[in-house]
Structure 1
Amino acid sequence: MAESLPAEGVPVRTLRSETLLVLALSLGASAVSALISFIGSVTRPGGLKDQAATLNASYAPGRPWLDLAWQLFGIATALVPVALVAHLLLREGAGLRAIGFDRGRPWSDLGRGTLIAAGIGSAGLAFYLVARAAGANLTVVPESLPEVWWKFPVLILSAVQNSVLEEVIVVGYLLRRLGQLGWTPMAALVASSVLRGSYHLYQGIGGFIGNMVMGVVFVLLYRRWGRVGPLVVAHALLDIVAFVGYALLAGRVGWLPTP
Protein backbone atom coordinates (compact mmCIF):
# COMPACT_ATOMS: atom_id res chain seq x y z
CA MET A 1 0.00 0.00 0.00
CA ALA A 2 1.40 3.41 -0.94
CA GLU A 3 2.22 5.75 1.91
CA SER A 4 -0.43 8.41 2.34
CA LEU A 5 0.52 12.00 1.61
CA PRO A 6 -0.79 15.25 3.09
CA ALA A 7 -1.94 18.05 0.80
CA GLU A 8 1.59 19.49 0.60
CA GLY A 9 2.91 16.29 -0.96
CA VAL A 10 5.35 15.39 1.83
CA PRO A 11 5.22 11.78 3.03
CA VAL A 12 3.63 11.26 6.45
CA ARG A 13 6.74 9.43 7.64
CA THR A 14 8.86 12.44 6.73
CA LEU A 15 6.51 14.81 8.54
CA ARG A 16 6.56 12.60 11.63
CA SER A 17 10.36 12.49 11.69
CA GLU A 18 10.58 16.21 11.03
CA THR A 19 8.23 17.00 13.91
CA LEU A 20 10.18 14.81 16.34
CA LEU A 21 13.46 16.41 15.27
CA VAL A 22 12.12 19.95 15.69
CA LEU A 23 10.88 19.09 19.19
CA ALA A 24 14.13 17.31 20.05
CA LEU A 25 16.02 20.48 19.13
CA SER A 26 13.72 22.75 21.12
CA LEU A 27 10.85 22.35 23.57
CA GLY A 28 10.82 18.56 23.62
CA ALA A 29 14.39 18.62 24.92
CA SER A 30 13.36 21.32 27.39
CA ALA A 31 10.58 19.06 28.65
CA VAL A 32 13.03 16.22 29.33
CA SER A 33 15.41 18.62 31.05
CA ALA A 34 12.56 20.01 33.18
CA LEU A 35 11.48 16.49 34.18
CA ILE A 36 15.01 15.62 35.31
CA SER A 37 15.19 18.89 37.23
CA PHE A 38 11.82 18.18 38.87
CA ILE A 39 12.94 14.70 39.96
CA GLY A 40 16.02 16.28 41.47
CA SER A 41 13.90 18.81 43.36
CA VAL A 42 11.39 16.35 44.82
CA THR A 43 14.15 13.97 45.93
CA ARG A 44 16.15 16.73 47.61
CA PRO A 45 15.70 17.25 51.37
CA GLY A 46 13.23 20.01 52.20
CA GLY A 47 10.04 21.21 50.53
CA LEU A 48 9.71 22.56 47.02
CA LYS A 49 8.92 26.09 48.18
CA ASP A 50 12.28 26.16 49.99
CA GLN A 51 14.06 25.65 46.66
CA ALA A 52 14.43 28.17 43.86
CA ALA A 53 14.12 28.04 40.08
CA THR A 54 16.05 30.90 38.49
CA LEU A 55 15.13 31.88 34.94
CA ASN A 56 17.51 34.66 33.88
CA ALA A 57 20.87 34.37 35.62
CA SER A 58 24.36 35.72 35.01
CA TYR A 59 26.66 33.65 32.81
CA ALA A 60 29.82 35.49 33.83
CA PRO A 61 29.49 37.19 37.23
CA GLY A 62 31.73 40.19 37.62
CA ARG A 63 32.43 40.41 33.87
CA PRO A 64 29.52 42.45 32.44
CA TRP A 65 30.62 42.59 28.80
CA LEU A 66 31.32 38.87 28.63
CA ASP A 67 28.04 38.26 30.43
CA LEU A 68 26.20 40.39 27.86
CA ALA A 69 27.80 38.45 25.00
CA TRP A 70 26.63 35.17 26.53
CA GLN A 71 23.13 36.54 27.15
CA LEU A 72 22.72 37.65 23.54
CA PHE A 73 24.23 34.42 22.26
CA GLY A 74 21.74 32.39 24.31
CA ILE A 75 18.77 34.43 23.09
CA ALA A 76 19.84 34.18 19.44
CA THR A 77 20.56 30.45 19.45
CA ALA A 78 17.28 29.71 21.22
CA LEU A 79 15.49 31.12 18.17
CA VAL A 80 17.23 28.82 15.68
CA PRO A 81 14.39 26.24 15.88
CA VAL A 82 11.97 29.01 14.89
CA ALA A 83 14.11 29.72 11.83
CA LEU A 84 14.03 26.00 11.07
CA VAL A 85 10.24 25.93 11.33
CA ALA A 86 10.03 28.95 9.02
CA HIS A 87 12.19 27.09 6.50
CA LEU A 88 10.07 23.95 6.72
CA LEU A 89 6.85 25.91 6.29
CA LEU A 90 8.32 27.71 3.29
CA ARG A 91 8.63 24.27 1.71
CA GLU A 92 4.83 24.24 1.71
CA GLY A 93 4.76 27.59 -0.05
CA ALA A 94 3.35 29.59 2.85
CA GLY A 95 6.02 30.27 5.46
CA LEU A 96 5.17 31.59 8.89
CA ARG A 97 2.07 33.33 7.57
CA ALA A 98 0.50 29.86 7.44
CA ILE A 99 0.30 29.98 11.24
CA GLY A 100 -0.45 33.68 11.51
CA PHE A 101 2.99 34.92 12.52
CA ASP A 102 3.40 37.85 10.15
CA ARG A 103 2.74 41.58 9.93
CA GLY A 104 -0.66 41.21 8.33
CA ARG A 105 -2.70 42.32 11.37
CA PRO A 106 -0.36 44.12 13.78
CA TRP A 107 -2.95 46.19 15.64
CA SER A 108 -5.39 43.32 15.97
CA ASP A 109 -2.63 41.05 17.25
CA LEU A 110 -1.47 43.70 19.72
CA GLY A 111 -4.96 44.41 21.02
CA ARG A 112 -5.96 40.79 21.40
CA GLY A 113 -2.62 39.89 22.94
CA THR A 114 -2.91 42.68 25.49
CA LEU A 115 -6.38 41.52 26.52
CA ILE A 116 -5.18 37.91 26.88
CA ALA A 117 -2.23 39.01 29.01
CA ALA A 118 -4.46 41.10 31.26
CA GLY A 119 -6.84 38.19 31.77
CA ILE A 120 -4.23 35.50 32.36
CA GLY A 121 -1.64 37.55 34.25
CA SER A 122 -3.49 38.14 37.51
CA ALA A 123 -4.95 34.63 37.57
CA GLY A 124 -1.54 33.11 36.89
CA LEU A 125 0.13 35.08 39.68
CA ALA A 126 -2.59 34.10 42.15
CA PHE A 127 -2.28 30.43 41.17
CA TYR A 128 1.50 30.54 41.59
CA LEU A 129 1.23 32.06 45.08
CA VAL A 130 -1.35 29.45 46.13
CA ALA A 131 0.65 26.56 44.64
CA ARG A 132 3.84 27.69 46.36
CA ALA A 133 2.09 28.15 49.70
CA ALA A 134 0.71 24.61 49.33
CA GLY A 135 4.22 23.27 48.75
CA ALA A 136 3.57 22.32 45.11
CA ASN A 137 5.91 24.85 43.54
CA LEU A 138 9.47 26.04 43.83
CA THR A 139 10.13 29.71 44.46
CA VAL A 140 10.44 31.12 40.95
CA VAL A 141 13.15 33.74 40.57
CA PRO A 142 12.47 35.41 37.20
CA GLU A 143 15.83 37.16 37.17
CA SER A 144 19.06 37.43 39.11
CA LEU A 145 21.10 39.57 36.74
CA PRO A 146 23.62 42.11 38.02
CA GLU A 147 22.74 45.79 38.16
CA VAL A 148 24.21 46.76 34.79
CA TRP A 149 22.95 49.02 32.01
CA TRP A 150 21.86 46.14 29.78
CA LYS A 151 19.81 44.33 32.43
CA PHE A 152 16.33 45.46 31.41
CA PRO A 153 16.90 45.30 27.62
CA VAL A 154 18.15 41.72 28.01
CA LEU A 155 15.15 40.80 30.17
CA ILE A 156 12.81 42.18 27.50
CA LEU A 157 14.66 40.36 24.72
CA SER A 158 14.52 37.15 26.76
CA ALA A 159 10.76 37.54 27.19
CA VAL A 160 10.24 38.08 23.46
CA GLN A 161 12.46 35.09 22.65
CA ASN A 162 10.45 32.85 24.98
CA SER A 163 7.17 33.95 23.48
CA VAL A 164 8.21 33.52 19.85
CA LEU A 165 9.82 30.12 20.44
CA GLU A 166 6.94 28.66 22.43
CA GLU A 167 3.98 29.95 20.48
CA VAL A 168 5.41 29.33 17.02
CA ILE A 169 6.47 25.77 17.84
CA VAL A 170 4.09 24.43 20.49
CA VAL A 171 0.95 26.02 19.01
CA GLY A 172 1.27 26.99 15.37
CA TYR A 173 3.74 24.44 14.04
CA LEU A 174 2.82 21.49 16.26
CA LEU A 175 -0.93 21.77 15.71
CA ARG A 176 -0.42 22.10 11.97
CA ARG A 177 1.79 19.02 11.81
CA LEU A 178 -0.38 16.90 14.10
CA GLY A 179 -3.40 17.75 11.95
CA GLN A 180 -1.50 16.68 8.84
CA LEU A 181 -0.54 13.46 10.61
CA GLY A 182 -4.20 12.64 11.22
CA TRP A 183 -4.48 13.50 14.92
CA THR A 184 -7.93 14.54 16.13
CA PRO A 185 -8.36 18.14 17.29
CA MET A 186 -8.78 16.99 20.90
CA ALA A 187 -5.65 14.80 20.81
CA ALA A 188 -3.63 17.66 19.33
CA LEU A 189 -4.92 20.06 21.98
CA VAL A 190 -3.92 17.64 24.75
CA ALA A 191 -0.47 17.05 23.22
CA SER A 192 0.25 20.77 22.84
CA SER A 193 -0.98 21.63 26.34
CA VAL A 194 0.80 18.77 28.09
CA LEU A 195 4.03 19.64 26.26
CA ARG A 196 3.73 23.26 27.44
CA GLY A 197 3.19 22.11 31.00
CA SER A 198 6.03 19.59 30.79
CA TYR A 199 8.80 22.03 29.97
CA HIS A 200 7.71 24.10 32.99
CA LEU A 201 8.00 21.13 35.38
CA TYR A 202 11.27 22.55 36.72
CA GLN A 203 9.03 25.02 38.59
CA GLY A 204 7.06 22.22 40.26
CA ILE A 205 3.57 20.74 39.95
CA GLY A 206 2.04 24.21 40.05
CA GLY A 207 4.11 25.31 37.07
CA PHE A 208 3.07 22.20 35.16
CA ILE A 209 -0.67 22.59 35.83
CA GLY A 210 -0.79 26.36 35.39
CA ASN A 211 1.01 26.29 32.05
CA MET A 212 -1.00 23.31 30.83
CA VAL A 213 -4.21 25.26 31.46
CA MET A 214 -2.70 28.25 29.70
CA GLY A 215 -1.87 25.92 26.81
CA VAL A 216 -5.51 24.85 26.49
CA VAL A 217 -6.63 28.48 26.37
CA PHE A 218 -4.00 29.39 23.79
CA VAL A 219 -4.88 26.44 21.54
CA LEU A 220 -8.57 27.36 21.62
CA LEU A 221 -7.80 31.00 20.81
CA TYR A 222 -5.46 29.99 18.00
CA ARG A 223 -8.17 27.84 16.47
CA ARG A 224 -10.63 30.69 16.75
CA TRP A 225 -8.38 33.32 15.19
CA GLY A 226 -6.00 31.23 13.10
CA ARG A 227 -3.04 33.33 14.25
CA VAL A 228 -0.22 32.89 16.75
CA GLY A 229 0.48 36.63 16.58
CA PRO A 230 -1.83 37.53 19.50
CA LEU A 231 -0.42 34.65 21.54
CA VAL A 232 3.14 35.84 20.99
CA VAL A 233 2.14 39.33 22.12
CA ALA A 234 0.33 37.99 25.19
CA HIS A 235 3.18 35.70 26.19
CA ALA A 236 5.77 38.43 25.69
CA LEU A 237 3.81 40.87 27.85
CA LEU A 238 3.35 38.26 30.59
CA ASP A 239 7.06 37.50 30.69
CA ILE A 240 8.12 41.15 30.48
CA VAL A 241 5.92 42.01 33.46
CA ALA A 242 7.22 38.97 35.36
CA PHE A 243 10.91 39.62 34.62
CA VAL A 244 10.96 43.40 34.95
CA GLY A 245 8.40 43.43 37.76
CA TYR A 246 10.46 41.02 39.81
CA ALA A 247 13.60 43.07 39.24
CA LEU A 248 11.83 46.18 40.51
CA LEU A 249 9.80 44.67 43.36
CA ALA A 250 11.81 41.76 44.80
CA GLY A 251 12.69 42.50 48.42
CA ARG A 252 10.52 45.64 48.41
CA VAL A 253 7.05 44.08 48.78
CA GLY A 254 6.06 41.41 51.25
CA TRP A 255 3.74 39.37 49.02
CA LEU A 256 6.38 38.51 46.39
CA PRO A 257 8.28 35.33 47.38
CA THR A 258 12.07 35.45 47.21
CA PRO A 259 14.66 32.76 48.06
Structure 2
Amino acid sequence: MRLPAWLSAPPSTVPEVRDPAARRLIGLEIAVVLTVTVGLSALRSALSLLDSLLAPVPLADQQVALNAPAAQADLVDLALQLVRALQLFGWGALGAYLLLRAGFALRRLGLDGTRRLRDVRDGLGLAALIGIPGLGLYLVARALGVALDVTPTTLDDVWWRTPVLVLSALANAWAEEVIWVAYLLTRLRQLGWSAERALVATSVVRGAYHLYQGIGGFVGNIVMGLVYGRYWQRTGRLWPLVLAHALIDVVAFVGYALLPAGWRP
Protein backbone atom coordinates (compact mmCIF):
# COMPACT_ATOMS: atom_id res chain seq x y z
CA MET A 1 0.00 0.00 0.00
CA ARG A 2 1.36 3.39 -0.96
CA LEU A 3 1.45 5.99 1.81
CA PRO A 4 0.00 9.49 1.29
CA ALA A 5 2.60 12.01 0.15
CA TRP A 6 2.73 13.80 3.52
CA LEU A 7 3.47 10.52 5.31
CA SER A 8 6.14 9.28 2.94
CA ALA A 9 9.82 9.96 3.55
CA PRO A 10 10.90 13.26 2.01
CA PRO A 11 14.06 13.56 -0.03
CA SER A 12 16.98 14.61 2.15
CA THR A 13 18.21 18.17 1.74
CA VAL A 14 20.75 17.84 4.56
CA PRO A 15 24.14 16.53 3.43
CA GLU A 16 25.58 13.76 5.56
CA VAL A 17 28.80 14.65 7.37
CA ARG A 18 31.37 11.94 6.70
CA ASP A 19 34.48 13.32 8.37
CA PRO A 20 34.95 11.27 11.58
CA ALA A 21 36.17 14.22 13.64
CA ALA A 22 33.25 16.40 12.53
CA ARG A 23 30.78 13.59 13.26
CA ARG A 24 32.16 13.20 16.78
CA LEU A 25 31.77 16.92 17.38
CA ILE A 26 28.15 16.85 16.17
CA GLY A 27 27.42 13.90 18.46
CA LEU A 28 29.06 15.69 21.38
CA GLU A 29 27.12 18.85 20.58
CA ILE A 30 23.82 16.94 20.59
CA ALA A 31 24.69 15.41 23.97
CA VAL A 32 25.57 18.81 25.43
CA VAL A 33 22.44 20.49 24.07
CA LEU A 34 20.18 17.73 25.41
CA THR A 35 21.95 17.78 28.77
CA VAL A 36 21.44 21.50 29.32
CA THR A 37 17.95 21.70 27.79
CA VAL A 38 15.11 19.27 27.11
CA GLY A 39 17.02 15.99 27.48
CA LEU A 40 17.80 16.37 31.16
CA SER A 41 14.23 17.56 31.70
CA ALA A 42 13.00 14.36 30.01
CA LEU A 43 15.02 12.27 32.48
CA ARG A 44 13.68 14.32 35.37
CA SER A 45 10.16 13.82 34.03
CA ALA A 46 10.64 10.04 33.84
CA LEU A 47 11.84 9.97 37.45
CA SER A 48 8.83 12.07 38.44
CA LEU A 49 6.49 9.51 36.88
CA LEU A 50 8.33 6.69 38.65
CA ASP A 51 7.88 8.50 41.95
CA SER A 52 4.17 8.93 41.21
CA LEU A 53 3.80 5.23 40.39
CA LEU A 54 5.51 4.25 43.66
CA ALA A 55 3.30 6.53 45.72
CA PRO A 56 0.49 4.91 47.75
CA VAL A 57 -2.06 7.19 46.07
CA PRO A 58 -3.37 5.95 42.68
CA LEU A 59 -2.00 7.79 39.66
CA ALA A 60 -5.43 9.11 38.69
CA ASP A 61 -5.81 10.75 42.13
CA GLN A 62 -2.54 12.68 41.88
CA GLN A 63 -2.28 16.19 40.50
CA VAL A 64 0.42 18.05 38.60
CA ALA A 65 0.32 21.77 37.80
CA LEU A 66 1.89 23.06 34.59
CA ASN A 67 2.14 26.65 35.83
CA ALA A 68 2.47 26.83 39.59
CA PRO A 69 3.54 29.59 41.98
CA ALA A 70 7.30 29.69 42.50
CA ALA A 71 7.40 32.05 45.49
CA GLN A 72 5.14 33.44 48.20
CA ALA A 73 5.83 37.12 47.48
CA ASP A 74 3.82 38.32 44.49
CA LEU A 75 6.55 40.23 42.67
CA VAL A 76 9.16 37.58 43.39
CA ASP A 77 6.80 34.98 41.92
CA LEU A 78 6.37 37.16 38.83
CA ALA A 79 10.14 37.49 38.46
CA LEU A 80 10.65 33.73 38.74
CA GLN A 81 7.91 33.04 36.16
CA LEU A 82 9.64 35.45 33.76
CA VAL A 83 13.01 33.82 34.40
CA ARG A 84 11.54 30.40 33.59
CA ALA A 85 10.14 31.72 30.30
CA LEU A 86 13.47 33.36 29.50
CA GLN A 87 15.22 30.04 30.08
CA LEU A 88 12.94 28.31 27.58
CA PHE A 89 13.46 31.04 25.00
CA GLY A 90 17.18 30.62 25.59
CA TRP A 91 16.98 26.88 24.94
CA GLY A 92 15.37 27.45 21.57
CA ALA A 93 17.76 30.26 20.73
CA LEU A 94 20.71 27.97 21.47
CA GLY A 95 19.46 25.35 19.02
CA ALA A 96 18.83 27.95 16.31
CA TYR A 97 22.22 29.60 16.90
CA LEU A 98 24.12 26.32 16.62
CA LEU A 99 22.39 25.55 13.32
CA LEU A 100 23.20 29.05 12.05
CA ARG A 101 26.84 28.52 13.00
CA ALA A 102 26.73 25.24 11.08
CA GLY A 103 25.63 27.06 7.91
CA PHE A 104 21.85 26.54 8.01
CA ALA A 105 20.12 29.84 7.25
CA LEU A 106 16.89 30.84 9.01
CA ARG A 107 15.00 30.39 5.75
CA ARG A 108 16.20 26.81 5.51
CA LEU A 109 14.93 26.16 9.03
CA GLY A 110 11.55 27.72 8.24
CA LEU A 111 12.06 30.67 10.57
CA ASP A 112 11.85 33.45 7.99
CA GLY A 113 8.85 35.65 7.18
CA THR A 114 8.32 34.82 3.53
CA ARG A 115 5.12 32.79 4.02
CA ARG A 116 3.24 34.60 6.76
CA LEU A 117 -0.34 33.92 5.66
CA ARG A 118 0.30 30.29 4.76
CA ASP A 119 2.22 29.76 7.99
CA VAL A 120 -0.71 31.14 10.00
CA ARG A 121 -3.18 28.98 8.07
CA ASP A 122 -1.11 25.84 8.60
CA GLY A 123 -0.53 26.71 12.24
CA LEU A 124 -4.25 26.99 12.91
CA GLY A 125 -4.87 23.69 11.14
CA LEU A 126 -2.12 21.90 13.05
CA ALA A 127 -3.41 23.29 16.35
CA ALA A 128 -6.86 21.84 15.65
CA LEU A 129 -5.41 18.56 14.35
CA ILE A 130 -3.45 17.97 17.57
CA GLY A 131 -5.35 19.96 20.18
CA ILE A 132 -8.82 18.46 19.83
CA PRO A 133 -7.80 14.76 19.66
CA GLY A 134 -5.19 15.45 22.34
CA LEU A 135 -7.91 16.54 24.76
CA GLY A 136 -9.83 13.36 23.96
CA LEU A 137 -6.74 11.23 24.55
CA TYR A 138 -6.17 12.92 27.91
CA LEU A 139 -9.76 12.22 28.99
CA VAL A 140 -9.44 8.57 27.94
CA ALA A 141 -6.13 8.25 29.82
CA ARG A 142 -7.75 9.78 32.91
CA ALA A 143 -10.65 7.33 32.66
CA LEU A 144 -8.18 4.43 32.41
CA GLY A 145 -6.22 5.72 35.41
CA VAL A 146 -2.92 6.12 33.53
CA ALA A 147 -2.73 9.92 33.65
CA LEU A 148 -2.40 12.38 36.47
CA ASP A 149 -4.86 15.21 37.00
CA VAL A 150 -3.06 17.81 34.87
CA THR A 151 -3.96 21.31 36.04
CA PRO A 152 -2.91 23.97 33.51
CA THR A 153 -2.31 26.59 36.21
CA THR A 154 -2.56 27.12 39.95
CA LEU A 155 -1.34 30.72 39.81
CA ASP A 156 -3.26 33.17 41.95
CA ASP A 157 -5.68 35.57 40.28
CA VAL A 158 -3.23 38.48 40.09
CA TRP A 159 -2.87 41.19 37.46
CA TRP A 160 0.03 39.49 35.68
CA ARG A 161 -1.41 35.95 35.50
CA THR A 162 -2.80 36.08 31.95
CA PRO A 163 0.26 37.74 30.34
CA VAL A 164 2.56 35.27 32.09
CA LEU A 165 0.48 32.30 30.95
CA VAL A 166 0.60 33.55 27.36
CA LEU A 167 4.35 34.09 27.66
CA SER A 168 4.75 30.60 29.12
CA ALA A 169 2.87 29.12 26.16
CA LEU A 170 5.05 30.98 23.67
CA ALA A 171 8.24 29.97 25.49
CA ASN A 172 7.26 26.29 25.61
CA ALA A 173 6.36 26.29 21.92
CA TRP A 174 9.57 28.02 20.84
CA ALA A 175 11.88 25.83 22.92
CA GLU A 176 10.30 22.49 22.05
CA GLU A 177 9.77 23.00 18.33
CA VAL A 178 13.22 24.47 17.71
CA ILE A 179 15.03 21.76 19.70
CA TRP A 180 12.92 18.68 18.94
CA VAL A 181 12.22 19.47 15.30
CA ALA A 182 14.63 21.90 13.61
CA TYR A 183 17.76 21.19 15.64
CA LEU A 184 17.62 17.45 16.33
CA LEU A 185 16.15 16.37 13.00
CA THR A 186 18.80 18.38 11.17
CA ARG A 187 21.72 17.16 13.24
CA LEU A 188 20.63 13.51 13.14
CA ARG A 189 20.29 13.67 9.37
CA GLN A 190 23.84 15.03 9.23
CA LEU A 191 24.91 11.90 11.08
CA GLY A 192 23.27 9.74 8.42
CA TRP A 193 20.07 8.82 10.26
CA SER A 194 17.10 8.13 7.98
CA ALA A 195 14.14 10.53 8.09
CA GLU A 196 11.98 7.87 9.81
CA ARG A 197 14.59 6.89 12.40
CA ALA A 198 15.26 10.51 13.34
CA LEU A 199 11.54 11.29 13.47
CA VAL A 200 10.69 8.35 15.74
CA ALA A 201 13.66 8.98 18.05
CA THR A 202 12.90 12.67 18.56
CA SER A 203 9.19 11.97 19.03
CA VAL A 204 9.82 9.34 21.72
CA VAL A 205 12.15 11.66 23.63
CA ARG A 206 9.58 14.45 23.27
CA GLY A 207 7.05 12.09 24.81
CA ALA A 208 9.47 11.30 27.64
CA TYR A 209 9.79 15.04 28.29
CA HIS A 210 6.09 14.95 29.27
CA LEU A 211 6.10 11.70 31.29
CA TYR A 212 5.40 13.64 34.48
CA GLN A 213 1.82 13.90 33.15
CA GLY A 214 1.47 10.12 32.97
CA ILE A 215 1.18 7.67 30.08
CA GLY A 216 -1.42 9.84 28.35
CA GLY A 217 0.98 12.77 28.11
CA PHE A 218 3.72 10.45 26.88
CA VAL A 219 1.63 8.94 24.07
CA GLY A 220 -0.01 12.22 23.12
CA ASN A 221 3.29 14.01 22.71
CA ILE A 222 4.78 11.15 20.68
CA VAL A 223 1.88 11.56 18.25
CA MET A 224 2.41 15.32 18.25
CA GLY A 225 6.11 14.83 17.55
CA LEU A 226 5.43 12.46 14.66
CA VAL A 227 2.91 14.79 13.01
CA TYR A 228 4.83 18.03 13.58
CA GLY A 229 8.16 16.48 12.68
CA ARG A 230 6.87 15.02 9.45
CA TYR A 231 5.24 18.35 8.54
CA TRP A 232 8.61 20.06 8.95
CA GLN A 233 10.41 17.38 6.98
CA ARG A 234 7.93 17.81 4.13
CA THR A 235 7.63 21.62 4.12
CA GLY A 236 10.71 22.98 5.89
CA ARG A 237 8.46 25.47 7.77
CA LEU A 238 8.90 25.80 11.54
CA TRP A 239 6.77 28.86 12.31
CA PRO A 240 3.47 26.96 11.86
CA LEU A 241 4.62 24.42 14.47
CA VAL A 242 5.55 27.15 16.95
CA LEU A 243 2.22 28.89 16.34
CA ALA A 244 0.19 25.67 16.65
CA HIS A 245 1.95 24.61 19.84
CA ALA A 246 1.55 28.08 21.35
CA LEU A 247 -2.18 28.21 20.51
CA ILE A 248 -2.80 24.83 22.13
CA ASP A 249 -1.03 25.95 25.31
CA VAL A 250 -2.66 29.41 25.38
CA VAL A 251 -6.14 27.88 25.12
CA ALA A 252 -5.30 25.36 27.85
CA PHE A 253 -3.55 27.78 30.22
CA VAL A 254 -5.63 30.93 29.84
CA GLY A 255 -8.90 29.12 29.20
CA TYR A 256 -8.54 27.15 32.43
CA ALA A 257 -7.59 30.26 34.40
CA LEU A 258 -10.63 32.19 33.16
CA LEU A 259 -13.12 29.42 33.91
CA PRO A 260 -15.17 29.94 37.08
CA ALA A 261 -13.87 27.71 39.85
CA GLY A 262 -17.04 25.58 39.83
CA TRP A 263 -16.67 24.83 36.13
CA ARG A 264 -13.11 23.58 36.25
CA PRO A 265 -12.61 19.83 35.89
TM-score over 0.5 (shorter chain): yes
The 5 A counterparts of 1:185-200 are: 185-200=195-210
Counterpart in 2 of 1:137? 147
Cα shift at 1:125: 0.7
* Residue pairs, 1:76-87, within 5 angstroms: 76-87=86-97
Listed as ranges, the matches of 1:101-250 within 5 Å are 101-249=111-259
Instruction: Write the deviation string for residues 192-241 of structure 1: whole angstroms up to 9, x where unpaired.
Output: 11011001000001110111111111111111211111110000000000
Residue of structure 2 in register with 1:47 after alignment: 58
Structure 1 alignment gaps of length 5 or more: none
Match of 2:22 in 1: 11
Paired residues, number: 251
Inter-partner Cα distance in structure 2 for 1:231 and 1:125: 18
Contact 1:101 1:229 in 2 (8 A): yes
| RMSD of aligned Cα (Å) | 1.9
1: distance between equivalents of 2:259 and 2:124?
22
Q: Cα offset for 1:97?
A: 3.0
Range 100-109 or range 235-244, more displaced = 100-109
For residue 36 of structure 2, the aligned residue among 21, 25, 33 is 25
Measured after TM superposition, the shift of residue 121 of structure 1 is: 1.4
- Tell me if structure 2 keeps the 8 A contact 1:87–1:95: no
SS at match of 1:252: helix
Task: Give the aligned residue type for 1:228.
Answer: L
In the alignment, the residues of structure 1 paired with residue 100 and residue 130 of structure 2 have an alpha-carbon distance, to the nearest angstrom, of 33
Query: SS state of the match for residue 140, structure 1?
Result: strand
* Cα deviation digits, residues 100-139 of structure 1 (max 9, x gap): 1222222211111011112221111111011011101000
Give how far 1:59 is off: 1.2
User: Which SS does the other structure have where 1:58 is aligned?
Assistant: coil
Counterpart residue type for residue 213 of structure 1: V
> 4+ residue stretches of structure 1 with deviation over 4 A?
7-10
Give the deviation of 1:251 after TM superposition.
3.1
Does 1:35 find its partner at 2:46?
A: yes
| CA contact 1:8–1:92 (8 Å) conserved in 2 | no
CA distance in 2, matches of 1:7, 1:154: 45
